[in-house]
Amino acid sequence: MTDFKPIKEGKVREIYDNGDSLIMVATDRISAFDVILKNKITKKGTVLTQMSRFWFDYTKDILPNHMISTDVKDMPEYFQNENYDGNSMLCRKLTMLPIECIVRGYITGSGWESYKKDGTVCGIKLPAGLKECDKLPEPIYTPSTKAEIGDHDENIDFERSVEVLERDFPGHGLEYATAIRDNTIALYKKCADYALTKGIIIADTKFEFGLDENGNVVLGDEMLTPDSSRFWPVEGYESGKSQPSFDKQFVRDWLKANPDSDYKLPQDVIDKTIDKYLEAYKLLTGKDL
């Protein structure tokens, strides 16, 4: 049996080269504030992979994605065991674009902090009088650069995203920047509308895109998971205050309240976090994991 070593390790994911494809494994690691925490969240990687699988299937009419299979029987023997079953995805190889595509449908988090200062979010002027967690008149696109582990992503405007892409793909900067912006908004709108019918508000999220061998834009990485999105329950939603959530905001809030934690979570926070992830998965897909 051939042994595999990751060719790339992110904060949560490990990527393995499988010749003409890749195998992306979502681990049980969890990160917050661009730091990998010292705990693992059991079954978290499976939730991330299976939720991405659900959304990739749901949105393939808008844009192709990189998913080939989440069945380890379609992968080399090395991956056909319980360590990889459920949390692994066989993917097409893409040339990834160096932009985090963030879309915000509600004003919260760093966007709310920015708005309170000068009425803008990432340089975009918003209507006066918005309250925390208000729904925006239209979703806004606020891209950022991709940072290395340990560094922070940098918010940029659309024009800067064109420059970044033009630098790496001469002659295609505006084309690719426009394509990923428009697809980001389209994907968010379709999925946010669906989630509302299942009792979940998708406040914001991020997407990543790459190019296939023909230069076509393809959706990659993960999609609309509790790691990459803010999920709020529709029941009890009321703007003007922070919302309970199904995502890792619960972890962020605990870390803020416990600055001396050294990024180590107590067991009850771990248990509540995975319970929230599993609840979100069931609400959105209608299935237990």
CA distance 217 to 179: 7
Q: Can you read off the two tokens belonging to residue 169? A: 């793909």
Whether residues 127 and 191 fall in one domain = yes
Domain presence at residue 277: no
Q: Range of 149's domain? A: 95-249
Whether residues 209 and 107 fall in one domain = yes
Overall residue count recorded for the chain in this entry: 289
Per-residue pLDDT, 153: 73
Picking from 61, 92, 123, the residue at the C-terminal end of a domain is 92
Whether residues 212 and 243 fall in one domain = yes
Q: Can you read off the two tokens belonging to residue 176? A: 């690719």
* CATH classification at residue 17: 3.30.200.20
Report CA-CA distances (Å) from 194 to 61, 198, 215, 239.
Answer: 15, 7, 30, 21
Q: Can you read off the two tokens belonging to residue 273? A: 């976090």
Whether residues 73 and 198 fall in one domain = no
Q: Own/partner pairs for 151-155, CB < 8 Å, 24+ apart? A: 151/34, 152/34, 153/34, 153/100, 155/122
* CATH classification at residue 172: 3.30.470.20
Q: What is the pLDDT along the chain (289 residues), one digit of tens a residue?
A: 788 999 999 889 999 999 999 999 999 999 888 889 999 998 999 999 999 999 999 999 999 999 999 999 999 999 999 999 999 999 999 999 999 999 999 999 889 999 999 999 988 999 999 999 999 999 999 999 876 555 567 888 999 999 999 999 999 999 999 999 999 999 999 999 999 999 999 999 999 999 999 999 999 999 999 889 999 999 999 999 999 888 787 788 899 999 999 999 999 999 999 999 999 999 999 999 8
Whether residues 181 and 204 fall in one domain = yes
Report CA-CA distances (Å) from 215 to 30, 172, 173, 277.
Answer: 33, 10, 13, 35
Domain presence at residue 71: yes
Domain presence at residue 177: yes
Whether residues 22 and 117 fall in one domain = no
Picking from 64, 92, 120, the residue at the C-terminal end of a domain is 92
Whether residues 79 and 134 fall in one domain = no
Whether residues 99 and 241 fall in one domain = yes
- Please state the pTM of the whole predicted model: 0.91
Domain presence at residue 268: no
Domain presence at residue 283: no
Inter-residue contact 106 to 115 (CB < 8 Å): no
Per-residue pLDDT, 247: 78
Domain presence at residue 259: no
Per-residue pLDDT, 147: 64
What is the number of domains present in the chain? Answer: 2
Whether residues 241 and 100 fall in one domain = yes
